[in-house]
Each structure stands twice: as structure tokens, then as C-alpha cells.
Structure 1
Amino acid sequence: MTELFIEGGRALLGNEIVETGLRIAGREIAAVGADTNHGTGTVNADGLLLLPGIVDLHGDAFERQMMPRPGIDFPIDVALVDSDRQAISNGITTVYHATTWSWEPGLRSAENARKLLESIEQMRPQLAADTRFHLRHETYNLDAESEIIDWLSEGRVDLFAFNDHMDSTVASLAKPQKRSRMVERTGLTNEAFDRLVQSVVSHSHDVPASIARLAQAARAANVRMLSHDDESPAMRQAFRAQGVAVAEFPVNEETAREAAEAGDFIVFGAPNVVRGGSHTGWTRASDMIAKGLCSILASDYYYPAPLLAAFRLAADGVLPLTAAWPLISEAPARAAGLADRGMLATGQRADIILVDDTVPLRPRIVAVVAAGRLVHLTDANRLVRSSIVPRKAVAAA
């Protein structure tokens, strides 16, 4: 069992930021306190913030590593390693790869979903972030139901989301630019794509029963469920009745308010906060946060966004950092059923990020500890007193 002591930092403890030290033993925080006995390695965190590692429930930026341009594929193992580096370097210590299994061929096909699941399972031990599988099921993908139920019962799915993009797909057929992007992603001709859409839509009457069977399987397997892009309070209520307690990206305030009043977790995208609004023109996340209608922020399509969003909320006076940070740590951990992380406390998993917040709105991650291991370091000279950083490495840096 290795020990590590982080001294001199300003740590987020509950709803306060306190200058203190953290002692890490193995994978856990063994003690909190400035007078804690030093471990075998000491990190000087003077002037730095010590924050819980980010828990990212929904991120699909890894798809760009798999297919950086339409029709250009790279090996999944290469994509996962690169995505892991990106996640960790942005303070994400628990990452759920949001994998869409659609009725489409190509990037979001059955073949890619199977390969990605297998790759995550095989590579998990060598990845720095705790990497988990978030299956986004397109509800019109009826052929996938039996296999997904098997995955759920076998404990292979960590989060399970219901997606329904059929209406937006049909609407996009009349918009040349959107249509072109969709068709390119599938690798089909325009004519073949149109025929596929028509065939899938013709089975719409079978979708509700399929959703019910899948929700029952997820409940039996104790897998947390999410519904994506809820359009109305009635839709949110229907999903909640099936045990779906997380609302992802509700498209209007009325739906978000209904979810909040029922005690559901509500997820919006951190890029929405950083950019000042949704790229789709829908709900403005910072407004929802100010009204108490958002409990979780996710990276969505951009790994740097959660870190930046928390500091943006604080700078804009929407929430103090002590209240903004739980949106990307404690709350998503609770929503996913992970009781061992999301806060800095004795007995918690040692997922800790050291942040230089000197420049407003531009927090800089100096180091990341994941499950008790120093997995990322951007400034060895900044931590020169650390006995866990070899002097040769410091000199080289």
C-alpha cells in the first residue's frame, strides 16, 4: 500500500474551502487535516485548489477519436487511450463513455457498440480514469432489444439511457446540410438512407412495449436509467413511472421544473454554460441552474467543459464555486450510485485534482490523482518538493 500526503492546498470540504492537508493510503483518502502525518511521498500544493475528481456521466467526445472525419475510422483501442488522456488532463477521473447504439449503420452501429464495450472491458485496467459504459439506446432500434437485455443482466452496462431522435432525423431530411452529415456518418447513399428511415418509422407502434421491457430488465439488474431530451412533463412522468430517475437535457423549462419537483436528477451540458447557451437553441443551462432546475453538468461533446463551467458559474455570480463544483462531482456520483467518490472525505476514493485558479475563467490543472495514483502532472517544477516526482523528471520538465 502506497502513501501520499498533499500539503498546503485549499481543499473543498463540504460547502467550505479550507487550507488543509490530505493523506492518501492506497486508493483512498486516509485522513483530512493540516497536521496529518506525512506519507512516503509529499506534494506541495501551496496556492492550489484541491478539488474532488470530476464524474462525467455523459461524454461522447471519444467518437471524434474513433472517426475524426466522416468515413475515416481509427482503431478503438487507440481512440480510448487518447480519450483517456484528454479526460484525465481535464480533471475527469470517472468517465462514462456515452455510446449510441442506433438503427443506423456506421459510427453508431451495432458493430461499433459491441466493439466499444469489449474494448472498454479489456482496457479498463490500463486506463487512468475509471472508464465506464453508458449505453444510449435509440428506442426505434428494436432489433437490439434482446442483446441489450443480455448485457444488462450480465452487468456489462453501467448506465442505460433511452434516446429517441427519430422525429429530429425525419425533420433533418429536409435540411441539406444536416442531411448530408447524417448520411455521411452512416456510409449509405441518400436513397438507401431514405429507405432505411421509412422502414424504421413503420415499426413505431412496437416502441413503447420495447421500452417497458428494457426498463424492467434495467431495474432487475439495478442499472441506473436516464431519458434523453424529454419534451414535456408527461414524457418525464412516463419515464419516471418506469424507474428512470435521471432527465438528460430536458428541452424546456416546464419539463425541467416537473423533474425538479419530483426530485429527479437533471443533466445539462457543461459546454452550454461555457458558451452561454445551447448549440441547438434550446434551454440555457446557466438559467436552469440559477432556478434550481439543474443538478448535474456533463461534458457532452467537449472534455474541458465541466472544469471551465464550474469556474464560469462562480465568476458570473450564478453559484459560488463551493456549490458549482458538486454539479460535476458529488451529484453525478450520487446519480450513478457511486457512494465512494465525488467529495473529499476520509474513506472516499482518492480522486483529487490540483488546480491553479490564478487567472480568472482559465483554471489550470497542475496535477491529477486518480484512485490514489498521480496520473497527470503538467508542472513538475510547481511540485518540486514532492518526493514522488523524480528529480530527473523535474530537470527534464
Structure 2
Amino acid sequence: MTVTFQGARVYLPGEIAETNVTVAGGRIAEIGGPAQGEVIDARGRILAPALIDLHGDAFERQLMPRPGVFFPQEAAVIDTDRQLAANGIATAYHAITLGWEPGLRDVARGRQLMQVMRDLAPRLTVENRVQLRWETFAFEALETIEWALAGPLMPAIAFNDHTSMTMRAYDVPIQDRAFELSPDFSIASLDDDRMKKRTASKAHRAGLDEDAYIRLLGEVWDRRAEVPATIAKVAGMGRRAGAPMLSHDDTRAETRAFFRDLGAGVAEFPMVLEAAEAARAHGDPIVFGAPNAARGGSHIGSLGAGDMVEAGLCDALASDYFYPAMLAAVARLDAERRADRLTLWSLVSSGPARAMKLTDRGEIAVGRRADLVLIDWPEGHAPAIEGTWVAGRAAYRGHPARDAAPAPAPRHEESLA
């Protein structure tokens, strides 16, 4: 099928031009030529590369809409998919936690969710991929990681260590903690009442009482000596498969160097300037959360994404916990003049594509996959997605009320006097 988007303001590599874009066979066939096939009137709209979300876990709200209340996974995945399409996200990496906790984030539930996504793929509207958000103390996840790496769509692997983060000394802010595998890492006592306060929300999520959660945490912490070798094993699996790999919440240049040496070349949500600058010095893609940028700062006191964009220390923005945040972040950063419009759009398109090694998408260029969004963005107002296309197929169309034909005037019968 051939489709031409006619007269849009098109975000091209290096310029914004009012032109036509023709799509055929799922790819960009021509830029600037005459209209062919079905014509979509895009005048007054922006046509841009569709969004690529390399880390999103908002799907957890569909899986567990209330604490401890689980929803059928098929329904949750279908609803999440439709949310993605309506938010202009054509490629999504769902950050599925593979952890040692029971409940929402345990390994078995994560594997089941991935299988449901595979089974539903023909019925979904966008490309639903997986980020294996692996907790490095969760040794029980290795078989599932190996299984996922052999799946139909290559996942990413993110190395997370919320266990050490939880076990840090009580007087150490999370942004100040040492490299987790360092002998200098200071450790909190489990027998302190402050541990109950620190872990209360985690225990609630896992469906455990506070004492049971802390006992389990202590048992898992006993694995610490084996963690480096297990990380190396998982990294080896990822390298052999060719999977993109990321380190998460880095607080030291040493942390970034450790994971870079293992092949994890992407810095995801670095918490301090030292870690971000270490990533930039070695050419590692740097990812920040779009909610951080959209809200004007980190809700936990880490680096401000807007500041990092302005400093040239951000290559991609991820939805993190809220899919609409990607478009909202671009809008806020644009209003704040943090960078030019094309640079800002690259943070949600070509930047994530490069980080995830997706060489077929992320730009509007002849031969690229036709992953596109049509945007209504009036001056001084929030942008809105009016259409999302994945490989040339319409995944979402939203026709605003102003574009509807006027309704006929109601007919009034003469009263019978």
C-alpha cells in the first residue's frame, strides 16, 4: 500500500521542511515527490519519526492497578499496547523486572508476561520489546534471561542493583553511595528499625510483612560474594546474543567503567555528574527519564534531565513510569529553549534507536522503516498525537472534533395545534 503525507512540516535529519513524504512497502519511499496512493492531508501538522521508548514500566499499573490486585495479563498487555500507540510510541522496551522478590516483580511472573507478549504479537499495534531489568542478586533469573535472548525480538539487558542500594549505610544518600562491588561500600544493619521504614513499600509490593521481607533480604544479601561472577556470566550471554546492555543508576565513574568493560555500553539514569561525564568521555549513550524532564527535575534529588540535555549529556529520554512524559518532556524542553527542536526530537527517536542498535528506524529518510507520528502542536500549547504508523501501518488515528463535518441541524416537526 502506498500513502503520501501531504504538506506536513517534516522533521528530517538536519532540517525541518514543509514537504510530502511517501510510504510504500512499510518504508519511506520518497521525500518531496508528488502525492501517490492514499493521500493524508497533513497541512498544519508535524510529521516526525515515531517515538522509541527504551525503558518503560508503566505497564505495571495495568498488571496491578491496586496494591495486591492482579489483572489478567492479556488484558493488561493489550491495554498497554493501545496506550503506547496513542502516545506516539512505535517501539517500546518494557522494563520487566527479574528480581528475587515474590509478587509483581518475581522471575516467574516476568517470564509469563514475556510469553503473553509473544503470543499476542499479531494482535498488537506497536512493536512491544523487552528490557530484561535484571536485579543482579536474582541468580534464579539466569535461565529466563537465556530463554528471552533466544526470542523473536532481541531484548535489552539492564543491570540493576537495588539490593545494594537498600543495604547502603543509613547516613549515605543513594546518590552518594560507592560502587556497589567496592570493598568501600558501607553497609546498613538489618537489625535497625530504620530498615523497616526503608523497605516498607518494597515489602508491600512483594506481598510480605516487614519482618519477612527483611529476613528474605538478609538471605539474598548473603549471595554478595557471588554477584560479580554472575554479572559477568549474564554480560557474556548478552554479548554473544548481540543484545544492547545498560547499567542503571550509576553513581561513580568506576561503576560505569566496570559495566562498559563487560559490554554494557549505555548509561541509564546516571545519578551524579561524575557518572554522566564518565559516560560521555567514552562515547557511551546516556539515558534520562522523560518524567524528570517534563516535571523540571528528579523526584529523588538526582540530576535534572533538562540540565543534562542543555549540557550535552543526554542522548535519549525514556518514559520510565509514564508514557505521555516523552512528548511532554520535548514540549517543556522546547519551551525552556534547552536545545533546538530537532535535537530535542532526537532524544525520543534517533537517540534511543542508536542506543538500542535499531539501525532501521528513528529518522525520516528514504529506506528507513516508516515509523511515523502526526502531531498537532499549536504555538503556546501542548502537542498531541493525531496518528502513529508502524512500518507504514496505522496503529493509531485520532481525529479531533474540530476536523469533523458539522452535524446537520435538528429537524423540528410543526406542532399540531
TM-score w.r.t. length of structure 1: 0.92
Q: Percent identity?
A: 42
Tell me how far apart the structure 2 counterparts of residues 138 and 157 of structure 1 sit (CA, whole Å).
19
How has the CA–CA distance of structure 1 residues 281 and 175 changed in structure 2, closer, same or farther, with 3 Å as cutoff? farther
Counterpart AA for 1:72: V
Partners of 1:63 and 1:382 in 2: how far apart? 35
Aligned length: 384
**Alignment of structure 1 residues 326-365 onto 2, 5 Å:** 326-365=346-385
User: What is the match of residue 83 of structure 2?
Assistant: 86
Indicate if the aligned counterparts of 2:129 and 2:153 stay in contact, CA closer than 8 A.
no
1:1-397 mapped onto 2 (5 Å cutoff): 2-33=1-32, 35-39=33-37, 41-153=38-150, 157-170=154-167, 174=194, 179-379=199-399
Rounded Cα–Cα distance in structure 1 between residues aligned with 2:150 and 2:361:
25
Rounded Cα–Cα distance in structure 2 between residues aligned with 1:259 and 1:342: 22
- 5+ residue gaps in structure 1? 385-390
8 Å Cα contact 2:203-2:210 kept in structure 1 = yes
Q: Which moved more, 1:11-20 or 1:362-371?
A: 362-371
| 3-state SS of 1:308 partner | helix
CA distance in 2, matches of 1:156, 1:348: 18
CA gap 1:175/1:209 in 2 versus in 1, 3 angstroms: closer
1:41-85 per-position Cα deviation (integer Å, ceiling 9, x unaligned): 111011101010001000000000000111000011111111111
Q: Return structure 1 stretches of 4+ with deviation > 4 angstroms.
A: 153-157, 175-178, 380-384
**C-alpha contact 2:387 2:394 (8 A) present in aligned 1:** yes
The question of whether the paired residues in 2 share the 8 Å contact of 1:311 and 1:321 is answered with: no
Deviation at 1:169, TM superposition (A): 2.6
2:196, 2:214 within 8 Å by CA — same for their partners in 1? no
Q: Is the 8 A contact 2:90 2:371 kept in 1?
A: yes
In 2: Cα distance, 1:165 partner to 1:156 partner? 27
Which TM-score applies when normalising by structure 2? Answer: 0.88
Change in Cα spacing, 1:53 to 1:156, as seen in structure 2 (3 Å) is: closer
SS in structure 1 opposite 2:347?
A: helix
Q: Distance in 2 between matches of 1:322 and 1:115?
A: 39
> Are residues 152 and 368 of structure 1, via their aligned partners in 2, closer, same or farther at CA, if it must alter by over 3 Å?
closer
CA offsets, 1:352-385, max 9 Å, x none? Answer: 111111042510112222211122122166677x
Return the offset for 1:105: 0.3
Is residue 157–residue 246 contact of structure 2 (8 Å, CA) maintained in 1? yes
Structure 2: gaps (5+ residues): 171-192, 409-417
Equivalent AA in structure 2 for residue 215 of structure 1:
A
Determine helix, strand or coil for the equivalent of 2:157. strand
Amino acid at match of 1:87: L
Q: Secondary structure at the match of 1:51?
A: strand
Taking the aligned partners of 1:303 and 1:235, their CA distance within structure 2 comes to 29
Structure 1 range deviating more: 185-194 or 321-330: 185-194
Higher radius of gyration, 1 or 2: 2
Distance of aligned partners of 1:46 and 1:37 in 2 relative to their CA distance in 1, 3 Å threshold: closer
Tell me, yes or no, if the aligned pair for 1:226 and 1:247 is still in contact at 8 Å. Answer: yes
CA gap 1:280/1:68 in 2 versus in 1, 3 angstroms: same
Q: What SS does structure 1 have at the residue aligned with 2:367?
A: coil
* Alignment match, 1:387: none
Q: Which moved more, 1:92-101 or 1:156-165?
A: 156-165
Aligned mates of 1:131, 1:151 — CA distance in 2? 13
Asked if structure 2 preserves the Cα contact closer than 8 Å seen for 1:76 and 1:116, the reply is: yes
For residue 293 of structure 1, what is the amino acid of its counterpart?
L
Q: Which AA in structure 1 matches 2:88?
A: G
